[in-house]
Amino acid sequence: MAKATKKQALGRGLSALLQDSPNRSSAHDKNADKLVGSIIEIELSKIEVNPYQPRTYFDEEALKELANSIKELGVIQPITVRKLPDNSFQLVSGERRFRASKLVGNTSIPAYIRIANDQEMLEMALVENIQRKNLDPIEVALSYQRLIEEIALTQEELSTRVGKKRSTVTNYLRLLKLDPILQTGIRDGFISMGHGRAMINIENTEDQLHIYEKILREKLSVRQTEDLVKALKGETKTKPKKKSIPTFVKNNTKKFNAFFGHPVDIKVNANGKGKITIPFHSEEDFNRIKKLLE
């Protein structure tokens, strides 16, 4: 009896709301106000999952815990669905609650009904999931990318829409430049987003993978990874090209060396001016060179 009372509190039954309003797919359809905006019990068999769902992994253990909670207390927060033609529905948000309800053998679930086109569905699903804390960094980055590409948002507009700083959005998007193996490592929790960010500026894939393997093998912290990347970049910096030596210097350097009995340092600037440095190793050597110049 208590269960029935709980269901009534969530809203009118689905059949009653659909009785005079068949096949509505727009908020402007006749009698749409009787359905849209209501919280009602919907048969799970009439709900299809959201094709725009950015989350691709659902932790089985966490689902079982949620299912046990639903078994004891019911679904406290209704899912959100949009109405499709033929009195069917599609999930906007709440797929974990939807899956957990199936696990415990429920046949219906409380749902908030709304109207949304495909673009609105995508945006709502992505934004709703981004605001949750259990998406991994790559799923967040992919969600940001889809919003930018498919909803045609700028990074500035996106940061406002999801309530994040633009720099935060940029940092997530840059993770998608990493090698797919590294992205998988982040998704699986082998390395953190911080490790990934440290490796973003390493363009060579082999170098990225080498560092990734070293992180796993030696359990490097983010700071240690940053130091490793700095060291690697320092080693691979292009060495400055030596200034070309004029022909008249090249042709006479050996003669200078032979005359003074030591390698002579000859430097020339871009204007053709320069200086000759003659080394000596002792007072005796100095006096020897002096006599050569007398």
C-alpha to C-alpha distance for 164 and 143, rounded to whole angstroms: 13
Q: What DSSP state is assigned to residue 183?
A: H
Let me know if 275 is exposed, middle or buried by CB neighbors in 10 A (0-12, 13-18, 19+).
exposed
The answer to whether 278 and 259 have CB atoms below 8 angstroms apart is no
* CA trace torsion 59, 60, 61, 62 (10° rounding): 50
Residue 37 backbone class (left: φ over 0; alpha: ψ -120 to 50; beta: rest): left
Chain mean position to CA 239: 33
Q: Are 89 and 46 in contact (CB under 8 A)?
A: yes
Token reading at 37: 């905006």
Main-chain phi, psi angles of 83, to 5 degrees:
-85, 135
* Catalytically annotated residues: 95
Pairing status of strand 265-268 against strand 108-114: unpaired
DSSP labels, 225-251 = HHHHHHHHHHHHSPPPPPPPPPHHHHH
Question: How many CA atoms are closer than 13 Å to the CA of 134, on its beta-carbon side?
Answer: 8
Tokens of 145: 């990318």
Q: Which residue type is seen at 125?
A: A
The DSSP bridge pattern shows strands 265-268 and 274-277 to be antiparallel
